[in-house]
Amino acid sequence: MTAGKPIAEIYASGKPVFSFEFFPPKTDKGATNLMRTAADLKESVEPDFISVTYGAGGTTRDRTHAVVTAIQDDLGITGLAHLTCVGATADEIGGVVSRLEGAGVRNVLALRGDPPEGAERFEAHEGGFAYATDLIAYLQEHHGVCIGGACYPECHPEATSAEADLLFAKAKQDAGADFLTTQLFFDSAVYVSFIERARAAGITIPIVPGIMPITNVAQIERFTKMCGASLPEALLARLRPVQDDPAAVMATGIEYAITQCRELIEKGAPGIHFYTLNKSHATRSVLAALR
């Protein structure tokens, strides 16, 4: 068993922290491919930590934890396990976290989670939690893990206003979150403005920008629509003429992400969290250029 390092300590180092997010595979072959991708990242760019999501509606929980544990034990990279409120009681969630701790996983990203497939809105499971803040408070009281939370520089799609959404982010810190990671965005000014508002609201913990290098135009347009993010017109003007040329889209997306990440680090971001979609080429290229 290899114990991961608390991520709050990694951010406290003062050096830019670079991390990657994967989603859990559905098959054994997929698990093998994911570990190969993670090993490639370790060899080429040495990520500070790797996070693994839940599947939609809280599915793939067991695979999430198996992959996080393997990343730590087999590759020696600190792991961050996503944890949601979907479809579980507080006791069940507590059991999951105890097993993670027993396997040496010391970091949890606490999320409310999306509604299960077919449900129009999120409803708390009987005996479970209604909000990420409730989950964070529970983890803070009952477990010794380092806790991350999510935030939305362009406002959560369900929030009534940007001000109300910012209060939820502050509540996560107050409940015990050690750091926050943003939803994806493509305008560095959006992040800078959000940081200014967050600090003015009393949020002092690290706020890490989440970046997804564009590799497919239709895909990123779908993602941004789902999560309430925007695509700058200047970026779209570069992408649309080449949207049917995968190599050109990839090159444009990598170039844009390199520029964006450099801007964010220069503006004081504590690091970059890359949304990889389980593919290493684009994110590896971006990080290689940054380093």
Helix 132-142 to helix 90-102 angle (10° resolution) is 50
Contacts of 187 (CB under 8 A, 6+ apart): 230, 232
Task: Please report whether residue 215 resides in a domain.
Answer: yes
Position 121 pLDDT exceeds 90: no
CATH of residue 177:
3.20.20.220
**Residue 128 belongs to what domain range?**
7-290
Amino acid at 284: R
Do β-strands 107-111 and 146-151 pair in parallel, antiparallel, or remain unpaired?
parallel
Position 291 pLDDT exceeds 90: no
Separation between Cα atoms, residue 39 and residue 36, nearest integer Å: 5
Q: What is the tally of structural domains in the chain? A: 1
Kindly report, residue by residue over 269-289, the tens digit of the pLDDT: 999 999 998 888 899 899 989
Tell me what pLDDT residue 277 has: 85
Q: How confident is the model at residue 129 (pLDDT cuts 50, 70, 90)?
A: confident
Task: Please report whether residue 132 resides in a domain.
Answer: yes
Q: Active site residue: 9, 21, 154, 233, which one? A: 21
Tokens 């570069």: give the residue: 238
Tokens 């239709």: give the residue: 218
* Residue of higher predicted confidence among 144 and 291: 144
Task: Please report whether residue 2 resides in a domain.
Answer: no
Tell me what pLDDT residue 122 has: 59
Average pLDDT of the residues in 92-118: 85
92 tagged catalytic: no
Q: How confident is the model at residue 1 (pLDDT cuts 50, 70, 90)?
A: low
DSSP letter assigned to residue 159 = -
Separation between Cα atoms, residue 233 and residue 215, nearest integer Å: 17
Task: Please report whether residue 259 resides in a domain.
Answer: yes
- Based on the number of CB atoms within 10 Å of its own CB, is 141 exposed (0-12), middle (13-18) or buried (19 or more)? exposed
